[in-house]
Amino acid sequence: MKREIDFVGKRKIFIAISLILIAISIVSILVKGFNLGVDFVKGTEIVLKFNDESISIADLRNKLSEIKPEYANSRITKITSAAEATKGAKFQVVLKQFFDKPELKDEFTNKAEQIFGKDNVEILSFRAVSGQAAQELKTASWNAALLAIILILVYITVRFQFVYAIGAIAALIHDALITLGFYSMFSIEVNSAVIAAILTLLGYSLNDTIVVYDRIRENNRRLRGNPIDRIVNKSINEVISRTINTSLTTFFVVFILLLFAGVVLKPFAFGLTVGVVVGTYSSLYIASPILIGWIRKFRRS
């Protein structure tokens, strides 16, 4: 007989680990905040390429202050990608000024060429977002996340029972909070692609949770009379190999994307890389233990 791993027996340890990670994430979000992309703040994102590879962020900041003193407070990120073999240095600069007119772009370009040298600098792209557009994107993102959670709650309630939905929603909130915490801790840019990554993560995590819940429901009928701890632990052991295999193959893909993606896709890949790990963990150690607690509560009542 195959020996079962005691997932349920150690649930208090793993719940404690999750609570610590959630607390760290919340503190980081409240204290450090997010590195918001131009999608969510009024401003202009400019990508500059220099032939001189030795230029640093400090050098660039000093030179930008010569164009306008307030540009010294711009957010500057050096763009690196293992997939790019081109010579030179590339930087992403986010200015608080909204370039709403072509003349502003022309003015910046001309002054940049004068200061850096026309043969040394190339402006690859301009992307300007107004305050109204940024606020609309924020609102739409929150609405999308809220709608996703409501639909998930309804779906789980209809397919299983409301008690199952509580565990699933708790696991999704757990996944989203910890993943967003990692964005805050590592100062990874949060833009519209990140919202897509979070929503994708919620769907992925829910899929894992449903696989576990489906087996729990089957075993609950087949092993009626057994303690719920025993039923849940047996169910997890029966699906663990499928869960691990799916998670590993997904993780390898998004991790490679994280390593080789450019600046546009890197925030998206980062969210999925962290999310796949956290989502798999929560399906086993968060959703199921919470389900045990609620089923016991309903049985006593």
pLDDT digits (tens, 9 = 90+) for 170-201: 888 899 999 999 999 998 888 888 888 988 88
**Domain assignment of residue 272, given as a range:** 8-37+133-300
Number of domains, the chain: 2
Q: Is residue 177 part of a domain?
A: yes
Q: How far apart are CA 210 and CA 169, in angstroms?
A: 12
* One domain for residues 187 and 118: no
CB 126 within 8 A of CB 142: no
* One domain for residues 106 and 186: no
Q: Output 96 or 276, whichever has higher pLDDT.
A: 276
CB 246 within 8 A of CB 173: no
Q: Is residue 2 part of a domain?
A: no
The predicted-structure confidence for 193-247, as pLDDT tens digits, reads as follows 888 898 888 888 888 888 888 888 888 888 887 888 888 888 888 888 888 898 9
CATH of the domain at 85: 3.30.70.3220
Domain boundary among 100, 129, 158: 129
Picking from 254, 244, 245, the residue whose alpha carbon sits closest to that of residue 200 is 254
* One domain for residues 97 and 192: no
Q: How far apart are CA 177 and CA 274, in angstroms?
A: 11
Q: Which residues contact 201 (CB under 8 A, 6 or more apart)?
A: 175, 176, 179, 271, 272, 275, 276, 278, 279
* One domain for residues 198 and 260: yes
* One domain for residues 105 and 161: no
Whole-model pTM: value is: 0.78
